[in-house]
A and B are shown apart, each in its own frame.
Chain A
Amino acid sequence: KAGVTQTPRYLIKTRGQQVTLSCSPISGHRSVSWYQQTPGQGLQFLFEYFSETQRNKGNFPGRFSGRQFSNSRSEMNVSTLELGDSALYLCASLATGGMSGELFFGEGSRLTVL
């Protein structure tokens, strides 16, 4: 079956703009989480959605937001972009509600902020 699909794979924005990233989980998976990966901070948890509800949130400013649709697809939005937002944004999906299952990652969306 198809894996986790993230779009776009690469994008370039300028400071002050906003960006929306999309994630389609594996069919049947109801949990979607987002991570930011940077050389300096490593992999950091952004937020998790399960059945359209945000269940967990990391320590990121309010400029970072997300949502999940009824078909489990998720989007994350970053407003008023800063240079430090340049990163690889990874989406992951999980079949069940808990961590006893396997978390499947997409290939990521690489955001460059100029």
Chain B
Amino acid sequence: AQSVTQLDSQVPVFEEAPVELRCNYSSSVSVYLFWYVQYPNQGLQLLLKYLSGSTLVKGINGFEAEFNKSQTSFHLRKPSVHISDTAEYFCAVSESGGGNKLTFGTGTQLKVEL
């Protein structure tokens, strides 16, 4: 079985500063990795995903993530955040070939301040 750890439950950052949200996973098989964002009272929206190939993945809204197999990590980064990035971010993993089932981390609340 796989698991996902998001070490930071909350990350405060000033507007226009860079941010990194950390995600580590555990799995005995090959995985697909995802980052989702959830705004208040809304569902989840896909930011980016890693399936295979280049380990640096670019997503929407200027976010990117790097897959590091040796460290089993998939950290999310943005070079300059905006107030509108304030939301909860979830890292998720699914076993490649394992069907449509995601295992989520506990989420990181990103709060962007002026």
- Inter-chain pairs besides A43-B104, A99-B100, 9 sampled, C-beta below 8 Å: A35-B102, A43-B102, A45-B102, A56-B100, A99-B32, A99-B94, A99-B102, A100-B32, A104-B46
**Are B41's CB and A107's CB within 8 A?**
yes
- Give the distance to chain A from B37, nearest Cβ to Cβ, in Å: 11
Chain B residue nearest to A46 in the complex (CB): B101
Q: Does A63 contact B (CB under 8 A)?
A: no
**Are A45's CB and B101's CB within 8 A?**
yes
- Give the distance to chain A from B91, nearest Cβ to Cβ, in Å: 11
Chain A residue nearest to B92 in the complex (CB): A43
The contact sample of 16 A-B pairs, CB cut-off 8 A, is A33-B101, A42-B106, A43-B92, A43-B102, A55-B99, A58-B101, A90-B44, A92-B44, A98-B99, A98-B100, A99-B100, A99-B102, A103-B100, A104-B46, A105-B45, A107-B43
Name the A residues within 8 Å of B103 (CB-CB).
45
Q: What is the CA–CA distance of A105 and B92 in the complex, to the nearest angstrom?
A: 14
- Give the distance to chain B from A41, nearest Cβ to Cβ, in Å: 9
Q: Does A94 contact B (CB under 8 A)?
A: yes
Chain A residue nearest to B52 in the complex (CB): A100
Q: Does B10 contact A (CB under 8 A)?
A: no
**Are B99's CB and A99's CB within 8 A?**
yes
**Are A56's CB and B105's CB within 8 A?**
no
Name the A residues within 8 Å of B96 (CB-CB).
99
Q: Which residues of B contact A (CB under 8 A)?
A: 32, 34, 36, 41-46, 49, 51, 90, 92, 94, 96-107
Q: What is the CA–CA distance of A107 and B9 in the complex, to the nearest angstrom?
A: 22
Q: What is the CA–CA distance of A56 and B51 in the complex, to the nearest angstrom?
A: 20
Q: What is the CA–CA distance of A114 and B24 in the complex, to the nearest angstrom?
A: 37
Q: What is the CA–CA distance of A44 and B34 in the complex, to the nearest angstrom?
A: 15
- Give the distance to chain A from B46, nearest Cβ to Cβ, in Å: 5
**Are B43's CB and A50's CB within 8 A?**
no
Q: What is the CA–CA distance of A31 and B98 in the complex, to the nearest angstrom?
A: 13
Chain A residue nearest to B45 in the complex (CB): A105
Q: What is the CA–CA distance of A100 and B96 in the complex, to the nearest angstrom?
A: 8
Query: Which of A42, A55, A108 has a CB less than 8 Å from the CB of B100?
Result: A55
Query: Which of A33, A98, A106 has a CB less than 8 Å from the CB of B97?
Result: A98
